[in-house]
Chain A
């Protein structure tokens, strides 16, 4: 770790990616993530890497597919409408079992939406997004430090499991500055015997492909991939618990919503309400077990989101609908205030 510097979240992602050995970045400008591209355009030429502003998000993700196929660490970043454009390519990357990092600094939607922070791509990120049976590993940073740390982790996980990983941030995380200790350069080297680097005349050709015209074969690859997903659910689920030990009202929130919620939980405790917070760090896999465990003592849950209510469905599923789950939300680029969350906690406490 280096000395702390003040850095924007978007820049922290870029610098952490470089520390993680990523030398190939492809992107297309879109607010509020453009600093990632701008930062990469300055840094990559100085370290012998590739920065290429693609003609579209579609091209950018397919350039990522090419580099990933060659076995190199590679990433792209965008914001919500641009991520929609990348979905086809993400599905191919998942279908061809390629490691890559996709960063989504979310903004309000649908459509062109707005440019203010949002979490309304939760479904898209955690339930597939593109076509077909697949998952992304989805990491949700809640500080600039985590923007850096989870970027490094994302590359490691992508290589470890040969799959695309998404860093799901939002406009505030991208734009805010906080002190950050940048990770030291390190790359967990992974053997990639499947990569297309040329046969050199000594091996049979490698093929990067997601096409299986034989349905039995396609089913088999899907089943195998889901066995891998099961292992990931068992071993890679990450979350933070805050004052949940005796919590009667458990707030569930990620990213910026978790930051706001933490203030509210503290305020609730000051008022004598036993409130707690579970912050998913991996959104897929979703931290089902700690939620189910919290449901043993908790009387109610609140899902705090910058959306019309998406994660709430996973909260209900995780606790098997055993307790009421309330939604506390803002949408379209608005952010809930700690006061709003506090009053939701008080209401939940009062009703249960």
Chain B
């Protein structure tokens, strides 16, 4: 009897992520949602530029690799051409909240019927640890060696808070994957975001607070704790927008 199996929506390709990185968990949660909703055959995923650039090798559904920040625009094209298919984006914080902010906000305000998975870990991973739009005040990175000085580079961007100020988007939630309880909540949120699309509800975005032990310079365990101590206090978890509830 198999008690633990790989989701069918994941390929057999070994993930290239660093030890202790939680991208793997988030990939799995996305794949589980695809499996459970039985939508693999009609799903198209859009991978970003950043650590998850090669996500196209990891999902068994059709995949598109987008230019940096443009995944929501690419997904818009895909969904408009094939409204009966399921289209999701998978983006990091530099991709979504820095270079791709315009695409993000406008896809949200059009209530494009797509599902966005937004992985926040307060740093640029792939290029080796530079300041991200989500880096915390005072956070030391390669390009903020004296700590993020909010007087000169501004404050982090709280994407869920920002997008939930728009009238259009259907569902916005922030979750984390740093402990079992949070992972279970994240799974539920991600599945919900896909269900919303299946039901034609519109734009759903799940921000997933992830860890980056390599670039934070910590052990994987310390990185998970750093999320609790530093990330979640600044980026509170929870549902920021739920049109289901608003409409009632």
Contact = CB atoms under 8 A, between A and B. Distances in A.
Interface of A: 24, 26, 50, 52, 54-56, 58-60, 62-70, 72, 74, 88-89, 92, 96, 196-202, 205-211
Interface string B182-206: 0000000000000000000000000
17 contacts: A54-B106, A55-B102, A55-B105, A58-B102, A62-B74, A62-B77, A67-B77, A88-B67, A96-B65, A196-B64, A198-B82, A198-B85, A199-B40, A200-B42, A205-B59, A207-B62, A209-B56
Given A66-B74, A197-B62, 8 more contacts: A58-B102, A59-B106, A69-B64, A198-B44, A199-B40, A199-B62, A205-B62, A206-B62
Contacts of A58: 70, 73, 102-103
Contacts of A208: 63-65
B60 A89 contact: no
B67 A66 contact: no
Contacts of A50: 80-81
B230 to A, nearest CB: 33
B39 to A, nearest CB: 9
B103 A55 contact: yes
A221 to B, nearest CB: 14
Q: Name, among A74, A198, A200, A209, the residue most crowded by chain B CB atoms within 10 Å (CB to CB).
A: A198
A26 B77 contact: yes
Contacts of A62: 66-67, 70, 73-74, 77, 103
A66 B70 CA distance: 10
Contact of A211 (B46, B53, B81, B102): B53
Contacts of B78: 66-67, 69-70, 196
B52 to A, nearest CB: 12
B76 interface: yes
Q: Name, among A24, A197, A208, the residue most crowded by chain B CB atoms within 10 Å (CB to CB).
A: A208
B41 interface: yes
Given A54-B73, A209-B56, A67 B41 contact: no
Interface in B32-55: 40-44, 46, 53-54
A200 B85 CA distance: 10
Contacts of B67: 62, 65, 88-89, 92
Given A50-B81, A197-B82, A65 B61 contact: no
A260 to B, nearest CB: 39
A70 B76 CA distance: 12
B157 to A, nearest CB: 17
Contact of A63 (B61, B65, B80, B105): B80
Nearest to B49: A211
B75 interface: yes
Nearest to B71: A62
Contacts of A60: 73
B65 A66 contact: no
A59 B73 CA distance: 5
Q: Which 7 A-B pairs have the closest CB atoms?
A: A66-B77, A62-B73, A196-B62, A63-B77, A62-B70, A198-B42, A55-B106
Q: Name, among B62, B65, B70, the residue most crowded by chain A CB atoms within 10 Å (CB to CB).
A: B62
Contacts of B41: 198-202
A50 B80 CA distance: 7
A10 B85 CA distance: 33
Contacts of B56: 207, 209
Contacts of A198: 41-44, 61-62, 82, 85
A65 B77 contact: yes
A201 B76 CA distance: 23
Contacts of A207: 56-57, 62-65
Given A50-B80, A67-B81, A59 B60 contact: no
A52 B74 CA distance: 13
A66 B103 contact: no
B162 to A, nearest CB: 15
A66 B74 CA distance: 4
